[in-house]
Amino acid sequence: MVSLHTFNLWSRVGDKIKVPEDTLLAHVPCHENSHFCQGLSAEDYHTVVSYRNGQNTGKTENIGDEEFYENWIELSILGPIQKLSNESELSKFKKGIVNGKKRLSVTIGVFPSEQDTSFQHFQISAEKLAGKYYSSYFINENSKPAITTYRHSEKQKRTDYSGKFDPASVMEFITKSSIPSVIDISTGFTTEILFYQKRPILILFGEEFEPFSKLSARQDARKHYIFTKISGENRNIQKAKEALGVVGNEPVIVLLNKDRVHLISISKPKCPDHLQKLLQMISTSEADKVLSTKNPHPLCFLQVERVNEIFGFEETIVLPDHTLFMDSDPFSRHPAISESGGSGGCPFMQGGGAGGATEGGHHSEL
């Protein structure tokens, strides 16, 4: 289901992308198919669904640019998990090369057989995350089960899974290990990456700062913090800075723990270890500012910038939304959104995870 807002984007993607001959891109024009569209919610009007042999194989409710839809289509065509038949294919995938293109992150599982319980749990995890990550597996009879995420453009090139191979922990590993060490949120971000989760957010305002980037490369540090950066200046970045209590244009690190804001001048930490100690100290100290849930969340202003980039400039009012300060299960059908339309005017707030039309309703086939 493609809304008027996304139809133009979807059409451009159709003209641009090369798909196999047995693949069709289509849309449902509701003005011509009112019987089908009866009962659709606002959420359904930008749902994109993939089918293979009559079976629903995935969907996305997120709204993105042309590249977003191209990547989603490619992932849907590839399927949730690919089998690597030989060492040559394994070597290419490790380098991030999938379908002739270099991907930012790929996850590979190595298992002794397809009957192994660890493989079956990896397969379940990949299917639940279909359309989001490049996942593959390689069978080596002499190998113990292992899962690794490779990110060729990062300082830390690989991250190894160390759990019990249960689907929940494997899903969490794939999700977290695929995220860049430092996420550039200058023009917005995917909602569930920053909101609805327990880790405090570190925001670097300014250019590259070595202690910050080196600390972000440490796996143990990323277990405790999400590292982000904001560079450049525009009206919405200025609004976010003001809401966080950041004054002036000097580089600064913000520790945002739900509603508590701590500011660290980059002149203080001299090395990654020093920065880590400072973070531990200030996390239990009095906050420089406490955000009110009655005001818009500061980071929502950054998402407005992304909306303007995709759809053209619009005068957007960002409303408060207290649910953005809450935790929720990242693998649930929906993030914690209030029944009264709790997106609060924050763009993309309802474009979360794998959910869609309510099951059992008019459009459960979506």
Q: What pLDDT, on a 0 to 100 scale, did the predictor assign at position 361?
A: 43
Q: How many residues does the chain have?
A: 366
Say whether pLDDT at 73 is over 70.
yes
> What is the reported pTM?
0.69
pLDDT in tens, 253-275: 999 999 999 999 998 898 999 99
User: Quick one: fold of 182-325?
Assistant: Glutaredoxin (3.40.30)
**Mean pLDDT estimate for the chain:** 83
CA-closest candidate to residue 302, choices 205, 186, 170? 186
Q: How far, in Å, are 184, 185, 192, 278 from residue 189 at the CA level?
A: 8, 6, 9, 27
**81-178 and 182-325 in the same fold:** yes
Residue 255 phi, psi dihedral angles, 5° rounding: -100, 110
Q: What is the mean pLDDT of residues 9-38?
A: 83
Beta strand pairing call for 289-290 and 260-265: antiparallel
Q: What pLDDT, on a 0 to 100 scale, did the predictor assign at position 221?
A: 92
Give the residue extent of every domain in the chain: 4-75, 81-178, 182-325
Distance of CA 363 to the CA centre of its chain: 26
Q: What pLDDT, on a 0 to 100 scale, did the predictor assign at position 238?
A: 93
Torsion 158-164-167-169 (CA) sign: negative
Q: What pLDDT, on a 0 to 100 scale, did the predictor assign at position 155?
A: 81
Least-confidence region, from 6-10, 17-21, 147-151: 6-10
Is 169 in contact with 147 (CB distance < 8 Å)? no
pLDDT in tens, 96-142: 999 889 999 999 999 999 999 999 999 999 999 988 999 999 999 99
Is 356 in contact with 43 (CB distance < 8 Å)? yes
More confident residue, 292 or 317: 292
Q: What pLDDT, on a 0 to 100 scale, did the predictor assign at position 261?
A: 96
pLDDT band (50, 70, 90) for residue 196: confident
pLDDT band (50, 70, 90) for residue 26: confident
More confident residue, 164 or 196: 164
Q: What pLDDT, on a 0 to 100 scale, did the predictor assign at position 225?
A: 93
Percent of the chain whose predicted confidence (pLDDT) is above 90: 45
User: Using CA atoms, how far apart are residues 244 and 238, in angstroms rounded to an integer?
Assistant: 10
pLDDT in tens, 131-186: 899 999 999 999 999 999 999 888 889 999 999 999 999 999 999 899 889 999 98
Q: Which two tokens stand for residue 115?
A: 């009957």
Q: What is the mean pLDDT of residues 20-39?
A: 81
Q: What pLDDT, on a 0 to 100 scale, did the predictor assign at position 273?
A: 95
More confident residue, 318 or 63: 318
Task: Say which residues have a Cβ less than 8 Å from residue 50's Cβ, sequence separation at least 6.
Answer: 56, 57, 58, 59, 73, 76, 131
Q: What pLDDT, on a 0 to 100 scale, did the predictor assign at position 3?
A: 56
Q: What pLDDT, on a 0 to 100 scale, did the predictor assign at position 187?
A: 82
Q: What is the CATH number of domain 81-178?
A: 3.40.30.10
Q: What is the mean pLDDT of residues 39-46?
A: 71
Say whether pLDDT at 312 is over 90.
no
